[in-house]
Amino acid sequence: MAIVLHQFPISHYCEKVRWALDYKGLQYRLKNHLPGLHLKKMKAVAPFSSVPVLEHDGHYVQGSAAIISYLDTQFPARTLTPQAPEDREEALRWETFCDDNIGPHVRRYCYHTLLDHPDLVIPFFAKGGPFWGRTFLRIIFPKLQGVMRKAMQIREPHVSESRVALEQAIQTLVQAYQGRTYLVGEQFSQADLAAASLLAPLFMPPAYGLDWPSSMPEPLQTWVNGQAEYLEPFRRLYDEKRSL
């Protein structure tokens, strides 16, 4: 029953899967890839070149939502998928909302600042990879930075649009949590896991597994400070539900 997670340690979509695996108490191995070099490797085993990709006894599943559904099917203990059909559909809707309206915008808005600070992000990219990873990434970083900015549309007006979309999505979640512990029913589900893990780079929880800086570079940190009150419920979810 070998489980391998192909991932980037910095990726919040990969953290979403790590959390699911840990929540279920499953034994697994991390395979950390270097950005850029992962493209052909992932394309060889999955439809797209992106991570996360779960490898389980020779079977490959790509994408955080598909992986969590697969894990709940194969390992139903501590399920993240509600059993009642209406609750299951609602949880999947919230997960999709977070995947579409939080994940890409956190990535674009954060990288807009972080890619100008290679001394900060290169250790994130290289964590757990080959011993030569940091040196390699320093050499190719100017090219990698350009590729990432183009692929993720990390430029104006898209960056400002992502900031606004992210603020709106956070408010939608804050309102949905009013008077309740979980987004769906009385159970911690993939909806809550998606919301907290995809927002996590904004509040940098230790359980994420990165050596976070004491603060993010400006102007990112000032914006995060302005969101701190709204991010606090998701920080609490980490404290209560994210065990290693």
The CATH code of the domain that includes 45 is: 3.40.30.10
Q: What is the mean pLDDT of residues 105-127?
A: 97
Same domain, 117 and 52: no
Same domain, 119 and 218: yes
Sequence letter at residue 154:
I
Residue 91 lies in a domain: yes
Residue 80 lies in a domain: no
Structure tokens belonging to residue 239:
């404290």
Could you tell me the residue range of the domain that residue 17 belongs to? 3-74
- The whole-number pLDDT of residue 43 equals 83
Residue 221 lies in a domain: yes
pLDDT at 41 over 90: no
User: Which among 33, 51, 74 is the end of a domain?
Assistant: 74
Same domain, 30 and 119: no
Residue 207 lies in a domain: yes
Q: What is the CATH number of the domain that holds 108?
A: 1.20.1050.10
pLDDT at 1 over 90: no
Segment 160-202, tens digit of pLDDT: 999 999 999 999 999 999 999 999 999 999 999 999 999 999 9
Same domain, 102 and 63: no
pLDDT at 82 over 70: yes
- The whole-number pLDDT of residue 48 equals 79
User: Which among 39, 74, 109 is the end of a domain?
Assistant: 74
pLDDT at 14 over 80: yes
- Given a contact cutoff of 8 angstroms between Cβ atoms, the answer to whether 115 and 145 are in contact is yes
- Given a contact cutoff of 8 angstroms between Cβ atoms, the answer to whether 26 and 74 are in contact is no
pLDDT at 124 over 80: yes
Segment 194-219, tens digit of pLDDT: 999 999 999 999 999 999 999 999 99
User: Which among 74, 95, 119 is the end of a domain?
Assistant: 74
Same domain, 31 and 131: no
Phi, psi of 181 (to 5 degrees): -85, -40
Q: d(Cα 39, Cα 27) in Å, to the nearest integer? A: 26
- 73's torsion region: left (phi>0), alpha (psi -120 to 50) or beta? alpha
pLDDT at 243 over 80: no
Same domain, 97 and 191: yes
- The whole-number pLDDT of residue 224 equals 98
Same domain, 50 and 105: no
Same domain, 54 and 144: no
Question: Global pTM?
Answer: 0.95
Residue 79 lies in a domain: no
Write the burial class of residue 192 (CB in 10 Å: 0-12 exposed, 13-18 middle, 19+ buried).
buried
Same domain, 202 and 163: yes
CA-based nearest residue to 137, from 66, 33, 54, 207:
33
Same domain, 147 and 232: yes
Strand 53-56's sheet: what is its strand order? 29-32, 3-7, 53-56, 59-62
pLDDT at 105 over 70: yes
Residue 150 lies in a domain: yes
- The whole-number pLDDT of residue 40 equals 83
Number of domains composing the chain: 2
